[in-house]
Structure 1
């Protein structure tokens, strides 16, 4: 098993944040299927203010590049990403176009 933590910032507007949360209460079945098909076993998103942290637990064979290729060829995923992009913003200091950023583990007990 692999475990990843990613971060993303939402636009800091309470109405947009609430709408984003509402969308995630019942994601489309096609989106859940694409997540599972990529080798992800579980995915959880947590929020503080406008910052999100996502935990992904995936099979050993999971690969972000492969998931990106699958997502790029999936119309439903592309529509979902386009819809979600109106709520998301780039974390300062990250490359242009990158929203979800893989974090670096600095401590484990």
Structure 2
């Protein structure tokens, strides 16, 4: 199976308590089954989120079935995902250069060894 990697970034609100709560939601064993199912159903085979300060970086490995537009449509029509996104917005904030309504921004790769 051939995979492709996508990398995204988003900020958390710069509040230690909110950051701690966000990390707890994402701790091993705490993921909501409906959310992980929606991720896998979209063709995402691995997803990891890294944090430094209040800036997050998400790395996704996707298979050949993944389509970002299809994923957005699936999420828009999934009440569990919409509830999750609304909850997470309590903790997240857009990057300063994000367009209106944009949350996770795809990163541009500028170097590869």
- Residues 36-86 of structure 1: CA distance to partner in whole angstroms, max 9, x if unpaired? 000000000000000000000001231111000000110100000000001
Aligned-partner Cα distance in 1 for 2:69–2:6: 14
1:102: how far off? 0.2
Pairwise CA RMSD of aligned residues? 0.6
Runs of 4+, deviation exceeding 3 Å = none
1:7 equivalent in structure 2: 9
Match of 1:66 in 2: 70
Query: In 2, Cα distance between the equivalents of 1:61 and 1:86?
Result: 31
Counterparts of 1:77 and 1:43, CA distance in 2: 16
Task: Tell me how far apart the structure 1 counterparts of residues 101 and 19 of structure 2 sit (CA, whole Å).
Answer: 20
**Structure 1 gap ranges (5+):** none
Count residues in correspondence.
109
TM-score (norm 1): 0.98
Alpha-carbon offset, residue 35 of structure 1 = 0.1
* SS state at 1:99 partner: coil
Q: Structure 2 matches for 1:44-63, cutoff 5 A?
A: 44-63=48-67
Is the contact made by 2:42 and 2:65 (CA closer than 8 Å) also made in structure 1? Answer: no
* Paired position in structure 1 for 2:104: 100
